[in-house]
Structure formats: structure tokens, C-alpha cells
Amino acid sequence: MSKSLLLLSLLFGPLSTGEAWADLRLYLANRHDDSLMRFDMDEISGELTLRQTLKLEGEPAPMCVSPDQRTLYVARRKAEKVSAFSISPKDGSVKLISETSIPGQGGACYLSPDRSGKFLLSAYYFEGKVAVHRLRENGSVKEGAIQTIATEKNAHCILPDHRNRLVLVPHTGPNAVYQFIFNEKTGKLSPSKFAKYVPEKKLSPRHVAYHPDGKFVYVVNEGSSSVTACHIKSEAIHPIHTLSTLPADFKERNSCADVEVHPSGKFLYCSNRGHDSVAMFAIDEKTGRLTSLGQERTEKVPRSFNVDPTGNFLVAAGLRANKLTVFRIDQGTGKLKPLKTYEVGKGPTWVQILKQG
């Protein structure tokens, strides 16, 4: 129990079961000094406390957590491997289970488990491919992909929808989002009836984030500094509209990196590298359309950020600043308020927060 929560319980008595607070754990991959850091995160104040630092050679970058929150996966891009760590349900500490070769020029740039937790999906930017690996019961990754599909260069993300059916793979260079159908029994991918979504303009789609209701998906566009709201229907995405992530008077160089939907489904966030900010949007939950809420400044080059599962905090990593900033999310407006900035390892590249308890 955090100090803040202990104080509340002393003042007001024990919390009922329905009011129990979850423990938050934050994991940070520092690509330029080959390290993995684990923090406890106070669920009331957002305060971070460093608990564990591991050496992880080979440029650790993309991470993901298994659906049961028992395993953390970290791709080591230069080493062309993925490391699986068991997560302690008691304190969130991690222990290495396995190291598995996942060959591909430049390594995997994105990892995601399928919704059943039986398979690990990966995308490869330089080589232009996607792969599927089977997972063992203990969470380790089996050697040898059960499927590898050549797509095009600059495959930047791979993510299944909430039904574990539609899998989207945005490609920045080819300006396309590949669309696959996932078979959760076999782990195999097959092209959707509409195998590609190709924007009419050069947008450079990079990452995607699904709305909690499963009707909408949001595509952040790297080169055009924009985000596209899309309907999901007929096992494909269909654009609604595209909005800039930048203020109208900003004319300098910028590129977008990450995108996330707030757990409530009411807000959307995208990171700007150049303007060095997080763009904030309100979501119309009936239509999926976005309304800009402006931008909140971050440390230099916010490549990765994460909204915690409770929806109270957003944590952004400044890749060039070697710093991590915690923001409080206003639950009414969706806007961000900076709380505290922390010095971390070199090249913080991926932020992952999970809830325990």
C-alpha cells in the first residue's frame, strides 16, 4: 500500500472491496544504454519509485505484456532476440524466463500478444515483414516462427483488435495499413477481403489504437503529423476524417510517433517529435470523430508514452532528453497537467504501465 493510500485509510477507515486501489507498475526500455527499469507508481499521486534496473544488451525497444499480466516481452532490436520475463504478482519485479531468436534486419520494431495470450505477433521495419510465434504455458517464446509474411518495408506496428480477429499493420513508407484476419486456433494470419487501406493523400501511417467499444480505430500518421479516425466494418478500416496533431502556427519539422485511447474511450493522445508535445483530442463516442484539445509540452522527442490502465496518468519518455515525465489526466476535459520529471537511462524508447491487484 502506498503512503498516500495508507494516510487515507487512517483518516477515513479501511476501503471497501469496491474501493480497493490497484498497484501500478511502470517498465521502461532504454535503448541507448541497454537497460530495463522497473518503477512502482503511486496510484494517487503518480509518484515514481525506481525498484529494479536490469542490463539488457542489444538495444531493448518495443515491449508488451501478456493478457494475464504474468509475462513481459522485450524485443532487443540489434540482437534480433525477444526476452520473456515473469512478472511477480506481489511487487511487479521481473525475472528472465527465456531468450528467443527472432531474426530480421534491424530486429522487431513492435510486439503484441494475441488476445488469448497463446501467440506473439511481431513487425519488422527494415525488412518489411510480420511474424507469429507460439507461446508456452510458462510465457516463454518458442523458437521458430509458425508464420512469416513478407509485406513491404517500414512495417511499424502489428496489433489485433478486441475481438482477436482483425490485425492491422501500418507501413509508413508505402503509405498503407495492411489488414489481416487472425485465426486464434492456429495463430495464422490471412489477408482480409480488403488487404490494404491506402490513404488518398501521403499520410505515412505508423501506429494504431483501438477504441474500447470496438467500433473505431485511430491511426497516427508519422510523416504528415496527423491522426485519422476510422470505422471498423466488414473486417477493414474506413476513414472518417484526419486532423493535424500540431498547432496551426507551427511550421518547423515534426513527425508523430505513438497514439493511445484513454480507457474511458473519451480522449485520444498522440506524440509529436519536433514540436515535442502530446496532442490531445476529445472523442465523440457515437461517431468516432475527434476534436482537438491542443498540445501539452514534453521533454525532447517523445517517441513513446503510455496511459496507465486506471486512466489517471500519462507518462511520456523524452528520447533525446533521457527523461520521463508524469502527467495527470483531467477526467472531465482530458487535458494533461505535468506533475514531475525524472532522470532515467539513455534513450528511453518504450513505456509500459500495468495494473496489479
Host domain of residue 76: 56-198
Q: What is the Cα–Cα distance from 129 to 123, expressed in whole angstroms? A: 6
pLDDT at position 134, please? 98
* Alpha carbons 301 and 290: distance in angstroms, whole number: 24
Grade residue 13 by pLDDT with cuts at 50, 70 and 90: very low
CA distance 40 to 292: 32
Helix (H, G, I), strand (E, B) or coil at 303: strand
Q: What is the pLDDT of residues 99-121, one digit of tens each?
A: 999 999 999 999 999 999 999 99
* Residue 192 within a domain: yes
Domain count, the chain: 1
In a domain, 127, yes or no: yes
What distance in Å separates the CA atoms of residue 165 and residue 169, rounded to the nearest whole number?
A: 13
d(C-alpha 51, C-alpha 71), whole Å: 18
Note whether 243 and 281 are within 8 A (CB): yes
Does residue 215 lie in a domain region? no
Q: Is residue 85 included in any domain, yes or no?
A: yes
Residue 22: its pLDDT value, please? 52
In-domain check, residue 133: yes
Within a domain: residue 302?
no
In a domain, 134, yes or no: yes
CATH of the domain at 73: 2.130.10.10
Checking if the pLDDT of 61 tops 70, the result is yes
Q: Does residue 259 form part of some domain?
A: no
pLDDT, the chain, mean: 94
Is the pTM higher than 0.95? The answer reads no
